[in-house]
Structure 1
Amino acid sequence: MNCQCPLAPAAPSYYAAGIREVTRVAEILAVGEAMEPALALLLGGDVVAIPTETVYGLAGDATNGIGVARIFEAKGRPRFNPLIAHVADMAMAERIASFDPLSRKLALAFWPGPLTLVLPQRPGNGIHPLVTAGLDTIAVRMPRGFGGDLIARLGRPLAAPSANSSGKISATTAQAVAADLGGRIKLVVDGGATPVGLESTIVKAEGERLRLLRPGGIAADEIEAAIRMELLRGGIAGVEAPGMLASHYAPGAAVRLNAGTVGEGEALLAFGDQRAEGWRGATAFLNLSLSGDLREAASNLFAYMQDLDRSGARIIAVEPIPFDGLGEAINDRLSRAAAPRDNAQPTT
């Protein structure tokens, strides 16, 4: 397992190690003139703020780890919570997720629209693991209007949480997005005020019942009328979708943080160009970013931890990672992975 095969597209040239990209002021373009510029940015691993019927979303290609990491960075002080994968049609949805009869009924009744369904992932669906936060499920939504048209043109799902800084109110106009994120992103697509103004409702099938994970743009009684049964509420442990408690990713192997040495039988998750003592004796080795680029490291984190977990090592030793920028989120996830399994508690 010494081969470090790339698990994400190469970073664009401006993602240099230790350099935070500075955007002068985001350009605001009306939907009628924004399609080609938006596509160009997404294909280049960048992000675009787009209108949906719920709130404005900060969109990146859900198959590109660099683009997804850019979403977390642009929102500021990020935590690795699952994101919603937005699709253009049912065919695209079925390529990335498996539908049970109840979920399919809701999709046919409410899509496109402000409903998100949490579904089992299809193996090999191409969605970057940063989108799903290491879960085996995926949150899927089909937006109306420009968002749906953009996804169809791109040919791949978009990850798109709300287009606002972490902790701030969700934006419902292009001007609100620009006032908040205008110095961190290049383009805001102006579709006017969003008609719903609330994030999507999120539900998940549990056997022959449906559970409400997050109330939103579709009232619960509308969903209950469509399925002719009451939604389950409460009793949720951990995070299953956006808008809930932060997720805890725990591999089978134990995780040891800030490792200055590598012990016998340990795998090594490295960072940068300075190695822990004894690293050549590691049973498996992967480097999140040889150049010390935190955005690249964030993009690789979940996939590399999963690969080292599959190596058979009892312990994954992790070299120190700085806390600035995306390092905060990386260390947040690693600290949860390293928490005692019997006492680990989700955090807000």
Structure 2
Amino acid sequence: MSATETRRHDEMLQAADRLRRGGLVAFPTETVYGLGADATDARAVARVFAAKGRPAFNPLIVHVGDLAAAERLAVFDPVARDLAARFWPGPLTLVLRLAEGHALAPLVTAGLDTVAIRVPAAPLARDLLAAVGRPVAAPSANRSGQVSATRAAHVREGLGADVDLVLDGGPCPVGLESTILRTDPLALLREGGLAAEAIEAALGHAVPRDVTPGKVQAPGQLSSHYAPNAAVRLDVVDAEGDAVHIGFGPVAGDMTLSATGDVVEAAANLFDMLHRADALARARGLARIDVAPIPEVGLGRAINDRLRRAAAPRIAQP
């Protein structure tokens, strides 16, 4: 093991120890950085809500190392079991009925009789979960309603001293939060890093959407979310001098999500680009970010979902 690998391994073990002792640890997954706490420790989970300023009715995603660990927390129906076999580890979260004797802190599920659960694919996250040996509740590592973190620097800038330790694993390769699916009754609850087409191909039929319900059933369903400080305007082709312009494909802008029009590249760049555009807007004394049109196909739907929530009227955080 190289000196760098040894250092990272030691940092991971330190992070696992912090989690077991009730601490908050930000760690990278393939989607975004999560703000982790022992999901069975009510006090630690309460610290997550306090650090983020997250409303208590908004449930958390529980991260586990494998299907066996997930089955101790949730009841898997045949559809859920098939999807887990196909897409775990990976950017798919399943919303399932709680298993008896699950031991999760009540705040994790926000009083619902279901739990949102996934097995992440990022090697550092998997090593951390194995070392902790407990389920880890981990929403995105940012203030509630603000832009998600895809780099360790985003976490430090957004949460500061409210997080005990930041485990730096570099930029997150997917760059969008996980796709969330409920299996009974079947519904897509959040567009995300696994394209809906892949799920529908696996199931052999279309999946109904329920992404902004009247009552929150899963993370990421608030109408106003993922927002920078500057206002956001969508589908802008021609740059104007009163805004920072984020381009895509043939629309160049001040910066671009993908010069080639690749939605996978754009997804990986989205949150970092919003952080950068927000900083540029502040530096220029501007109050708005304009974003070029993104096609509603594949991960483009998830990108547009985040952008629409970023552009929605702001909801005051408690």
TM-score range, shorter chain: 0.5 to 0.7
Q: Distance in 2 between matches of 1:229 and 1:166?
A: 34
Q: Which residue of 1 aligns with 2:124?
A: 146
Of the three residues 170, 184, 206, the one matched with 1:206 is 184
Q: Distance in 1 between matches of 2:58 and 2:178?
A: 16
Q: Which residue of 1 aligns with 2:94?
A: 117
RMSD: 2.0
Q: 1:173 to 1:30 in 2, by over 3 A?
A: farther
Matched, 1:216 2:189: no
Q: 1:31–1:146: 8 Å Cα contact kept in structure 2?
A: no
Please, which runs of 5 or more residues in structure 1 have no aligned partner?
A: 1-28, 247-346
Q: Which residue of 2 aligns with 1:128?
A: 105
Q: Return the letter of the residue paired with 2:32.
A: V
Shift of 1:81: 1.1
Q: Return the letter of the residue paired with 2:161.
A: G
Q: Distance in 2 between matches of 1:234 and 1:134?
A: 20
Q: Distance in 2 between matches of 1:107 and 1:113?
A: 9
Q: 1:30–1:191: 8 Å Cα contact kept in structure 2?
A: no
Matched, 1:226 2:202: yes
Of the three residues 126, 133, 153, the one matched with 1:155 is 133
Q: Distance in 2 between matches of 1:112 and 1:191?
A: 18
State how 1:69-88 maps to structure 2 within 5 Å. 69-76=46-53, 78-88=55-65
State the secondary structure of the residue aligned to 1:67. Answer: helix
Matched, 1:40 2:22: no
Which structure features the higher share of helix residues? Answer: 2
Q: TM-score scaled by structure 1?
A: 0.60
Q: Distance in 1 between matches of 2:210 and 2:156?
A: 36
Q: Return the letter of the residue paired with 1:98.
A: V
State the secondary structure of the residue aligned to 1:170. Answer: coil
Q: Return the letter of the residue paired with 2:205.
A: M
Q: 1:228 to 1:30 in 2, by over 3 A?
A: farther
For CA contacts below 8 A with separation 6 or more, give which structure has more relative contact order.
1
Q: Which residue of 2 aligns with 1:100?
A: 77
- In the TM superposition, what whole-angstrom CA distance separates every residue of 1:258-278 from its partner, at most 9, and x where no partner exists? xxxxxxxxxxxxxxxxxxxxx
Q: Distance in 1 between matches of 2:118 and 2:38?
A: 15
- In the TM superposition, what whole-angstrom CA distance separates every residue of 1:59-88 from its partner, at most 9, and x where no partner exists? 000000011011111113644411011110
Q: Distance in 2 between matches of 1:49 and 1:32?
A: 15
Q: Distance in 2 between matches of 1:30 and 1:136?
A: 41
State the secondary structure of the residue aligned to 1:49. Answer: strand
Q: Which residue of 1 aligns with 2:163?
A: 185
Q: Distance in 2 between matches of 1:196 and 1:161?
A: 16
Q: Distance in 2 between matches of 1:88 and 1:94?
A: 11
State the secondary structure of the residue aligned to 2:115. Answer: strand
Matched, 1:164 2:153: no
Q: 2:33–2:140: 8 Å Cα contact kept in structure 1?
A: yes
Shift of 1:237: 4.7
Q: TM-score scaled by structure 2?
A: 0.65
Q: Give the number of equivalent residue pairs.
A: 218
Q: Return the letter of the residue paired with 1:178.
A: R
Q: 1:53–1:194: 8 Å Cα contact kept in structure 2?
A: yes
Identity rate, percent: 55
Q: Return the letter of the residue paired with 1:40.
A: D
Q: Which residue of 2 aligns with 1:49?
A: 26
State how 1:329-348 maps to structure 2 within 5 Å. none
Q: Distance in 2 between matches of 1:184 and 1:71?
A: 9
Q: Return the letter of the residue paired with 1:112.
A: P
- In the TM superposition, what whole-angstrom CA distance separates every residue of 1:177-236 from its partner, at most 9, and x where no partner exists? 1111122122100100000000000001135xx210000000100110111110012494
- If you compute each CA radius of gyration, which structure gives the higher value, 1 or 2? 1
Shift of 1:104: 0.8
Q: 2:30–2:91: 8 Å Cα contact kept in structure 1?
A: yes
Q: Which residue of 2 aligns with 1:174?
A: 152
State the secondary structure of the residue aligned to 2:183. Answer: strand
